[in-house]
Amino acid sequence: MTDIPGLPSRRSFLKASAAGMALSGLALPASAQNAPAPVPLDQYQPDYLTADEWAFVMAATARLIPSEGDGPGALEARVPVFIDLQLAGDYGTADDWYMEGPHDANAEPARGWQTPLNPAEVYRQAIPAFNAWCEETYQAEFAALEPAQQDEALTALQKGEVGLPAEVRDFFTILLANTKEGYFADPQYGGNFEMQSWVYIGFPGARAAFREWPTRHNVKYPLGPVSISGERA
């Protein structure tokens, strides 16, 4: 659709109509708010992850929060995009953390993060190590396994049974945490696409104004979420 300079555009007309519909009380789904469709996940160009890492993160998050059943899965929520962007940013590089040595990566887990690696490096080193374990155990890397085998492999990873080096032993913990973060964080970070995860559980996002609600006991809050950038769902 091309707009002609100097003339009211067809797009503005559509926008005005949409506003009219809102005023007349018809709720608009977020998809009707002129949001450009995002790049499909299989065409996404990661900022940090390599192609192999991307394939792993896609496959692993799809099992951590699967698509089947009610509510979005990690892929519908675009969690892999969130993880890529986080690893490319100051979380991935642990900018805020104290990373001076000496490091004792074998310290008891209760002593906290003690590996010399930052989260982005943990992903980088753990994924091939875990894939090697999958090759040895199932004769295929993780992304190529059947869902039931993937669940079995992730369970082994969670239980610490795949023999990862101490420096990356927290890989499953951060992978799962990052997956849930991407599922529930504001959509500006790349996940929780169209706030589907918030809609699913009934969290109203950035509404943050409930003056009359404390005393409405045992009444379910009726409105859907808004995002920080003003999307509604």
Partner 1 sequence: MARQEKKKDVVIVGLGWTGSIAGIELCREGLEIVALERGHDQSTVPNFEYPQQIDELKYGVRLKMMQKPSQQTVTVRRNDGETALPYRSLGSFLPGNGVGGAGTHWNGLNWRPQPEELRLRSYVAENWGEEIIPEGMNLGDYPVSYDEMEPFFTHFEKVAGISGKAGNLNGEIQEGGNPFEGWRSEDYPMPPTATTYDSSKFQEACLAAGYHPFPAPAGIASTAYTNPYGMQMGPCNFCGFCERYGCYQYSKSSPQTAILDALKMQPNFSYRTESEVLRVELAEDGKTATGVTYWDHKAGEEVFQPADIVILSSYQLNNVHLMLLSGLGEAYNPLTGMGTLGKNYAYQMNGGVSMFFKDENFNPFVGHGANGMCIDDFSINQNDFGALGFIGGSYWRSGTFNGQPIRNMPLPKGTPSWGAGWKEGIGEWYGHAMSIGSHGSHMSYANNHLDLDPTYKDKHGRPLMRMTFNWQDNDLKMNQYMKSQMEPLAASLNPDVMQSGFKGLGAQYDVRPYQTTHNTGGHIMSANPTQGAVNKFSQTWKAHNVFAMGAGNFVQNTQYNPTGLVGGLAYHTVNAIRTQYLSNPRPLV
- Using the minimum distance from each CB to partner 1, give the nearer residue, 40 or 214: 214
CA-nearest of 3, 136, 135, 137 to 56 is: 135
Residue 121's H or E segment, with its range, is helix 119-138
Q: Tell me how many residues contact partner 1 (CB under 8 A).
A: 61
For the residues of 77-95, what is the DSSP string, one character each?
TTHHHHHHHHHHSTTTTTT
215 binds partner 1 (CB under 8 A): yes
Residue with tokens 């509604």: 232
Distance CA 218, CA 21 (A): 32
Q: Rule CB under 8 A: choose which of 32, 41, 144, 176 binds partner 1.
A: 176
Q: Which amino acid, 142?
A: F
Judged by CB under 8 A, the residue of 16, 27, 201, 223 near partner 1 is 201
Distance CA 140, CA 55 (A): 13
Binding-site member from 10, 12, 21, 210 for partner 1 (CB under 8 A) = 210
Does position 153 interact with partner 1 (CB under 8 A)? The reply is: no
Query: Among residues 84, 181, 194, 231, which is the contact residue for partner 1, using CB under 8 A?
Result: 181
- Which lies closer to partner 1 via its Cβ, residue 37 or residue 98? 98
| Site for partner 1, residues 39 to 98, rule: CB under 8 A | 63-66, 68-71, 73, 91, 94-98
Separation CA 60–CA 158 (nearest Å):
12
Tokens standing for residue 99: 């990373």
Residue in 7, 23, 111, 148 binding partner 1, rule: CB under 8 A: 111
| Secondary structure (3-state) at 160 | coil
Q: Contact residues for partner 1 (CB under 8 A)?
A: 63-66, 68-71, 73, 91, 94-100, 102, 104, 107, 109-114, 151, 154, 158, 176, 179-181, 184-186, 189, 197-198, 200-206, 208-211, 213-221, 226, 228
